[in-house]
Structure 1
Amino acid sequence: MNWITFACLSVVLIVTPFQGGLYYESDMRIWELVIIPLFIIHLLWFSFKHATILIRNKNYFLVFLLPLMYVLTIPFAINPSGNMDTILRFITYACFFLMIFWIKESTTISKLLPYVFHLLGIELLIFTFAELFDVMPMQESMVGCGGERACGPFRYPNTFAAIIGAYWFYTMAIVVHRKRFDWAGVLLAGVMIGYGVILLHTYSRGSYLFFGVTFVLALLLLWKRWKRFVIISIVSMMLSFGLFSLMSIEPDQPAEVVPNSFKERVTDMSPSTNTAVARFDFYKQALAMSKDAPWTGFGGESWYMYYPEHEKAGGLNQTHNGYLDLLIEIGWVGVLVYAAVFAWLIYQVIKVRAYAVDQTHGTGVILALMMVFGHSLVDYDFSYGRIWLLVFWLFGIGVKRVEARHI
């Protein structure tokens, strides 16, 4: 049973990026019909065969507080169908998360979780490079794709950049902790350079910003290996930038050390830019909106119902801030519950990292989560179901495996 579930969850992780990152409900619905029934079957199986597994992992049922917060908004939801869609989404995420922990009690499966994560990263690299070289062009996009910007299968460069940045830091932590630089180390270093090239090709200023913030955190977490970390990071980034510049050379145009498009994008990082001003306006509107229902919120997918001028202003039906989305939808009570649940999960990862002999995965998970959660301050990453599945898979890697004698 564990292996069947592991195979199913791995397929979900690997396939779902190519469904627009599960942004749209039509794509999400398919996997809700797979994951929730699979969870129920698994729950019944363990209840009769291995009830002790459920008891040992009982604390992780706290993740069901996440959909519960949306259930509590049902009487106040201004978009009832959207709220129900969000409830189903978070039930699906919670089921996905719990099944990871149940099957992780198998020693072999526990060791395979990071490999599946790496497999997805390499898959994203191959797909994105194929698209950049017009081997596998894709026309559909959400917003921001086009020209030199890499969007990946998510079809939105900013969210894709946050994910690639998370992969860069996770891989970097593994390379830094390796005892010897063998063929596996060379492969990981090459993949890390590839992530750097793609990250640069996203031209995502928000991701560049939070990459820098996460880099500082990495320096703090890896202070015992800071020389190795600095050397590996600098060499990797220099090689990534060199390849990025080579890929940016246009025929019949003089070669540039730094592509003009990149220079313009980076030098334009200012609170006074049009996109920054528009987002600050969204944030002000979101905070003002939250004051009308500070405790309960307006339910799932309520932003565009409450603020129709948003679309007229040329934006999407999002606040471009995942945390303000939550504040609008589930109020301060819900936000505090979410913060408490994820703070507890991050504490579990930190606790394992503090006492584990091998700190590789713990460090990588913390840095990857920092990149994702940090970038969500400036974009609507939380609207992608794929982001939540990735986050819960990272927690599955980072939190201690519960020992069991017979699985």
Structure 2
Amino acid sequence: MLNKVVKKNINSINLTILFFSVIVFFFPFFRGLYFEREFYVASMIMSVMAAIVFFRNIKNKEKIKFYSPIEYFATAFVLIYLFTFPFSVNEHLASFEIIKNLTYFIFFIVIVYNLKTDKDISLINWSLILIGTIASIIGLGSALGTFSYKGAFVDGMINSTFQYHNTFGAYMLAVLFLAMGEIAEEDNLKKYLLSGFGYIVFLGFILSYSRGAWILLPVVGIIAFILLNTDGLKRVLISFIAVIFSFSMTISHIYQGIKEQNSFIGWLSIVIGIAITAMVIFLLDKLLNKLPKINIRKRTIIIVLLISLVIILILFVNGVLIEYLPHSIAERIKGINLKTFTVVERGVFYKDALKIIKDYPIIGVGGGGWQTLYSMYKTYDYTTTQAHNYIIQTWIEIGTLGLIILIGLYLSTLWSSYRIIKSINNDKLFNKMLGVICATLVLILHSTIDFDMALGAYAFFVWAMLGTIVAVEKRYVNKYSETAKRLTISFIVPMLLSIVLLFTSGMFHLGYVNAMKAVESVKNKDYVKAQKYFERAARQNPFRANYKFDLGTIQYNIGIKLKSKELIEKSKQNIENAIRLNERDFKILANSIAIYLRRGDIDKGEELLQKLQKYHPLNDHTYISSIEIYYNIGHHYLKKGNIDKAKDYFKKVISINEEVIQKNQELEKIQKELLKDINDIPSSYVEERFKINLDQKSIQLVNSAKDILNKLK
């Protein structure tokens, strides 16, 4: 009898959704899948699993049938990245973006065509709730000094496995809304477990110090409370009150534990907080059950909630409630305004991004375009590989056409969500989907003010939610099935895509592995072995410029030592190929200039130096290198007796110095206008970012060039 029950329970589990939920479960624990090394592995795993599922779909003679606008826009979004690849300014980063988006897309297709029941939705939700809980525990443990997890707690803010506090904060908030959807339908012991998880996740959310995520809590929360059905709203309110009450009772002790690095106080407070959460839920349930049945209308509850929210906001603004919060949290709340350095800096990023878009308006510059080009366009010398706004970054990468598709994807998500909310009569399913929709809204909205989508774990969360919305729309909102024209595609197409993706990700991963082996060989001074590994890496990832450049550098050094013309010629070809692949890379340009000048090819060296000046006009080392190179070339011609040539280059040294003075005047003006009335500027930031700083050697060379020119008059 027991065996039959167990077998029945196992058969009721959707194994496809279970396996993919388990896969996604582990993604945040690999640095949020921000870096290529981890993402290639994730892509390979996803590709293998997806190919198996698609093969089964083919065997069952199933077809892909597009019903939802989301499917059309999602497909178009991936295709335009493929279409713009030949026009990309950085083929390596563009190919990486294609791999990322193809991986998300096949995951999306798996979810859409395999999610069958509301239990499948819960399977995904619970997986993500567990991820959020464990990620929060890792962050709290790092903050309390219980264990060391690199990058999980930095500058007093919890980053957890994401290694970035804002993305972690937004992820935690989205998890809270998924938990809300599950709590709204649970009236048993599960609600205690979910509420306990909710308390832990809420701690991580607050201690992320992500102001953007904090703002989204009341915004999206109000929408959720308005839309929840009456019974679900009551359950969620009880849980919410319990979590907030336990948080208020324990946060000062947890903060003390973090400040003093006292794990015992911290974890004891957290355990007490979980107990308080359960106790409050139990007492409120008992109280409501003993009270006479009063039919309180949902409208009344919403009005009371809105009034309470307004009162709380007034108390916060007047500083009444802030006094009871830990100092760092209170200061962070006070800093929520448009006159903070973070807001001003984001505005500069967006303004500079629009300069790039103006030059490449239609099809953009390909994946990684911002990272490749921003040095040429930036207002002052900040450093960021991301535009901190997914919409703007997409606009840069795939142009106005891509922007239209992305906006279409977002609008169709809103439309499909609206249709689900209007059409579903099953209260339990409605509550689950409201949690999914609110989580999606949080993830998308926060990505418009930060670079969350650059982290693969975050993006997988988004695409899991989109897939869930489409799957539910197909199965429960049936108007499309009879009336709309459908695009039908064989599962052979995504299966082939999965195989190609597996091969490409595998090759690029091997390229990375061999490059790391080459670096290790260089450290051990085994240059022959390093050459062999770099040759493999350059073949396995032909788009990565630094592999070819490093190979060329190794070949040049070995060629010089062995006096091998063949190796020196190969070196020249590889370095030229590296420059062709990415002539905007600072390190490649700077090192190539040094190699060409060492070879005596002054014209080529000077040509590359001009590119360095063009592409990196605010980098200190651009001007330090230019002064030294022009001075050395001038000295070279002076020794040869070519006075006119020498004078030309010494004049260039002085010209570079004058250019630095002029740029510094412009930067000083920008700094005064930009940072007016901004009080939270990081120390030394102005000196480092709003000024080109020449080192002492460069200043001496400028003075020497002036003296030489005076003598040569």
Structure 1 length normalisation: TM-score?
A: 0.87
1:52 to 49, 62, 85: 62
Tell me the residue number matched to 2:358: 291
Q: How does 1:66-145 map to 2 (within 5 A)?
A: 66-105=77-116, 109=120, 112-140=123-151, 145=153
What is the CA distance between 1:64 and its match in structure 2?
A: 2.6
The answer on whether the counterparts of 1:114 and 1:397 sit within 8 Å (CA) in structure 2 is no
Work out which of the two has the higher radius of gyration on C-alpha atoms and give 1 or 2. 2
- Structure 1 residues 272 and 342 mapped into 2: Cα distance closer, same or farther (>3 Å)? closer
2:43 to 32, 49, 52: 32
The answer on whether the counterparts of 1:6 and 1:109 sit within 8 Å (CA) in structure 2 is yes
What is the CA distance between 1:277 and its match in structure 2?
A: 1.1
The size of the alignment, in residue pairs, is 394
Tell me the residue number matched to 2:441: 370
Structure 2 length normalisation: TM-score?
A: 0.51
- Which sits farther off after the overlay, 322-331 or 354-363? 354-363
- Which sits farther off after the overlay, 221-230 or 34-43? 221-230
Instruction: Establish whether residue 382 from structure 1 lines up as the match of residue 390 from structure 2.
Output: no
Tell me the residue number matched to 1:150: 158
Unpaired runs of at least 5, structure 1? none
Amino acid at match of 1:400: V
Tell me the residue number matched to 1:348: 416
- Which sits farther off after the overlay, 146-155 or 82-91? 146-155
SS of aligned partner of 1:299: coil
The answer on whether the counterparts of 2:75 and 2:105 sit within 8 Å (CA) in structure 1 is yes
Amino acid at match of 1:304: Q
Tell me the residue number matched to 2:75: 64
Instruction: Establish whether residue 274 from structure 1 lines up as the match of residue 341 from structure 2.
Output: yes
1:321 to 367, 373, 389: 389
- Structure 1 residues 102 and 401 mapped into 2: Cα distance closer, same or farther (>3 Å)? same
What is the CA distance between 1:40 and its match in structure 2?
A: 3.3
Instruction: Establish whether residue 400 from structure 1 lines up as the match of residue 468 from structure 2.
Output: no
- Structure 1 residues 360 and 223 mapped into 2: Cα distance closer, same or farther (>3 Å)? closer
The answer on whether the counterparts of 2:169 and 2:210 sit within 8 Å (CA) in structure 1 is yes
What is the CA distance between 1:110 and its match in structure 2?
A: 5.5
Tell me the residue number matched to 1:243: 250
1:203 to 185, 201, 209: 209
1:174 to 171, 182, 187: 182
What is the CA distance between 1:265 and its match in structure 2?
A: 1.3
SS of aligned partner of 1:16: helix
The answer on whether the counterparts of 1:361 and 1:397 sit within 8 Å (CA) in structure 2 is no
> What do you get for the CA RMSD once the two structures are aligned?
2.9
What is the CA distance between 1:185 and its match in structure 2?
A: 1.3
What is the CA distance between 1:53 and its match in structure 2?
A: 4.8
Distance 2:101 2:193 in 1: 36
The answer on whether the counterparts of 2:348 and 2:379 sit within 8 Å (CA) in structure 1 is no
Deviation per CA, 1:183-240: give whole Å up to 9, x if none.
2111112221222111111111111122232122223323746666555434422322
What is the CA distance between 1:381 and its match in structure 2?
A: 0.6
2:20 to 5, 9, 31: 9
SS of aligned partner of 2:158: coil
Distance 2:179 2:239 in 1: 11
- Structure 1 residues 251 and 400 mapped into 2: Cα distance closer, same or farther (>3 Å)? closer
- Structure 1 residues 37 and 240 mapped into 2: Cα distance closer, same or farther (>3 Å)? same
Distance 1:155 1:397 in 2: 27
Distance 1:311 1:132 in 2: 36
- Which sits farther off after the overlay, 202-211 or 243-252? 243-252
What is the CA distance between 1:115 and its match in structure 2?
A: 2.9
Unpaired runs of at least 5, structure 2? 1-12, 262-322, 476-713
Tell me the residue number matched to 1:361: 432
Instruction: Establish whether residue 260 from structure 1 lines up as the match of residue 327 from structure 2.
Output: yes
RCO comparison, higher one (Cα < 8 Å, 6+): 1
What is the CA distance between 1:87 and its match in structure 2?
A: 0.8
SS of aligned partner of 1:341: helix
What is the CA distance between 1:28 and its match in structure 2?
A: 0.8
